[in-house]
Structure 1
Amino acid sequence: MNAEVEPPTEGVPLIRPSTTGHPLYDAVVEACRTVYDPEIPVNIFDLGLVYTVEILDEGDVAVTMTLTAPGCPVAGDMPGWVQDAISAVPGVRQVDVDLVWDPQWGMDMMSDEARLELGFM
């Protein structure tokens, strides 16, 4: 039997939405903002490298993130930096960081603050 691969359903986001309504969300975002790509003077959150912050009621946090390029020299270290930063937030029980390459990061994912900082505005 030849199974056809279904294309992504139109209207289904490539990136899961974050749980922005959780009381820990702002603190977790601020923790992400303490982590920097060593080659770019902007934090990973404003660079748009953090795709999803999912927080469960028990304080478990799941982060889906990417890097600017698959060959990034800190690819092996960055998820641990993010995990360490978020683990320090009071109320966080466990942190899981998933590094993904799809969708691919693009400069359009940066915040206005990051674009300004890097001279793109």
Structure 2
Amino acid sequence: MNTEDAIWTALEEVIDPEIGVNIVDLGLVYEVEVEDQGHAKIDMTLTIPGCPLADDIVKNVKEAVTAVPGIQEVDVSLVWEPKWSPARMNDRAREEIRARQRLM
């Protein structure tokens, strides 16, 4: 597995605490870029601007990505264009959300 793929896999472990689904399946991660010397750049968004858990999510992203072998530094940029919408979620995220709603 190359480093970029390993980063995407690591990001699948980062859960949006309000929704309970990982940020990749939610479509919150827009771009992953690996630069020389163990530096990764992540462009991502949140479900809403001003999310009260933004700092926690960014911290979790940095921790997950720095755990990837060869990555020592991570820059996370929160971007708001394109705006996130539920249409960005994949089918797995939709199924997880439906399953949680059925349990309520």
Which range, TM-score by smaller chain? 0.7 to 0.9
1:78 Cα deviation after fit: 1.5
Alignment-mate amino acid for residue 23 of structure 2: I
Other structure's SS at 2:64 match: helix
Higher RCO (CA 8 Å, separation ≥ 6 residues): 2
Residue number in structure 1 paired with 2:85: 106
Higher helix share: 2
Equivalent-residue separation in structure 2 for 1:81 and 1:103 (angstroms): 22
Task: Name the SS for the 1:53 alignment partner.
Answer: strand
How far apart, in 2, do the equivalents of 1:104 and 1:23 lie?
A: 29
Q: Report whether the alignment pairs 1:35 with 2:39.
A: no
Unaligned runs of 5+ in 1: 1-21
> TM (normalized to structure 2)?
0.86
TM-score calculated relative to the size of structure 1:
0.75
Q: Which has the larger radius of gyration?
A: 1
Letter of the structure 1 residue corresponding to residue 58 of structure 2: P
Which structure 2 segments of 5+ residues have no match?
100-104
Q: Give % identity.
A: 51
